[in-house]
Amino acid sequence: MNQIMQPFIKLITLLVALLGLAVALVGVVGFVLFLSYSGVQLPSLQADSNSEQVQSLPEVPAVTALVDPAGMWSSPDWATLEAEANAEDIKYGKELIANTAAYLGPNGKVKAISNGMNCQNCHLQAGTAPLGNNYSAVAATYPKVRARSGQSEDIEKRINDCFERSLNGKALERDSKEMVAMVAYMNWLGKDVPKGESPKGSGIYEVPLLDRAADPAKGKLVYDAQCASCHQADGQGMPKQDGSGYIYPPLWGKNSYNHGAGLYRLSRFAGYVKANMPLGATFENPMLSDEEAWDVAAYVNSLERPAKDLSKDWPDISKKPMDHPFGPYTDGFSEEQHKFGPFKPIKEARAQSK
């Protein structure tokens, strides 16, 4: 009897020993991980042998931020979301902003009403990035009368403006689950902003005006050196393998925003790229000079893109922005100058006529 059992007892002892070893290993690894995440300083193996080298490194020159970061808006804490009665809508809304194409693009799983771009391509970090065209002012400033349509626009109408122009697509039904979710998300983002106020860092940076017209030829040099590596030499971007959007979105051509879109205005494009492009640039760490931003805007917006019937836009033509590139105008400046500048004379003439 005993002899029959012995191999089993040995085996069990071995297994128990192995298990003990495994538990000990997990414990040690876990403890080291805990230490490294908890910020506890482990003693350096080399003590302070290289502290002199560190001190002799040249000082990094301070980059000038476009605006003082103090008081910048930041989005509500995502961790507080579950307290909201419509948390599910808000989450779905954020998902639609970030991955629009997967739901509403040419192969969208909900319906195909847009060009394959994501809202987030232009409204960075799901519309939360400071000076990354964020949504911080939306809840507090809509509905409002917009001169482009001459009408009062609510959030739904404004979202559909971007569907029809920036995503060169069709409007979403106002009472659809998707529209309700996106509006819920924007209302949540702006919930702490007092009515009527635009927080610091909302929208797009205003690049100082140049004394000359923006130059597409100079802009092409900027584009080839600093943009083409991602957006490609032909500006068509780089689609994802599964057809659900882009790794790098297109900047011109049939899959890009149409000429009724905000980015087709030079000041919007220049301001967006100045604070956000090449990818990695921020308002605190801009990478383009003002001239480069204006010139690359001129280059990209002088190339082919989808058209849109704009005949209903700007019913009061005197309200057209200085860089609206389609006449007629009330100020006597040419379409060419309204497209590329110089904008200072237009601005001054307008100020005088008021």
Residues forming the site for ligand HEC (CB under 6 A): 100, 117-124, 133, 135, 137-138, 158-159, 162-163, 166-167, 182, 202-204, 222, 226-227, 229-231, 248-251, 257, 261-263, 268, 272-273, 277-279, 288, 296
Distance CA 194, CA 159 (A): 21
For ligand HEC, the closer of residues 11 and 164 by Cβ is 164
Distance CA 161, CA 177 (A): 18
- The 10 Å Cβ neighbour count of residue 48 is 8
For ligand HEC, the closer of residues 162 and 322 by Cβ is 162
Q: Are 137 and 199 in contact (CB under 8 A)?
A: yes
For ligand HEC, the closer of residues 278 and 345 by Cβ is 278
In the complex, least distance from residue 31 CB atom to ligand HEC, rounded to whole angstroms: 38
Q: Are 271 and 265 in contact (CB under 8 A)?
A: no
Q: Are 89 and 180 in contact (CB under 8 A)?
A: yes
Compute CA distances 83 → 76, 86, 139, 151, 329, whole Å. 12, 9, 19, 35, 51
For ligand HEC, the closer of residues 210 and 227 by Cβ is 227
In the complex, least distance from residue 159 CB atom to ligand HEC, rounded to whole angstroms: 4
Distance CA 270, CA 109 (A): 34
In the complex, least distance from residue 170 CB atom to ligand HEC, rounded to whole angstroms: 11
- Under DSSP, the state recorded for 268 is H
In the complex, least distance from residue 174 CB atom to ligand HEC, rounded to whole angstroms: 13
For ligand HEC, the closer of residues 102 and 122 by Cβ is 122
In the complex, least distance from residue 268 CB atom to ligand HEC, rounded to whole angstroms: 5
In the complex, least distance from residue 252 CB atom to ligand HEC, rounded to whole angstroms: 9
Compute CA distances 299 → 217, 230, 341, whole Å. 7, 16, 13
In the complex, least distance from residue 189 CB atom to ligand HEC, rounded to whole angstroms: 10
**Nearest by Cα to 158 from 262, 258, 257:** 262
In the complex, least distance from residue 202 CB atom to ligand HEC, rounded to whole angstroms: 6
Distance CA 31, CA 75 (A): 34
Q: Which amino acid is at 59?
A: E
- The 10 Å Cβ neighbour count of residue 39 is 6
In the complex, least distance from residue 123 CB atom to ligand HEC, rounded to whole angstroms: 6
Distance CA 318, CA 334 (A): 14
For ligand HEC, the closer of residues 164 and 341 by Cβ is 164
For ligand HEC, the closer of residues 135 and 329 by Cβ is 135
For ligand HEC, the closer of residues 292 and 337 by Cβ is 292
For ligand HEC, the closer of residues 82 and 180 by Cβ is 180
Q: Are 126 and 94 in contact (CB under 8 A)?
A: yes
Question: How far is the first Cα of the chain from the last one, in angstroms, to the nearest whole number?
Answer: 110
Tokens representing residue 178 in the block? 């998707």
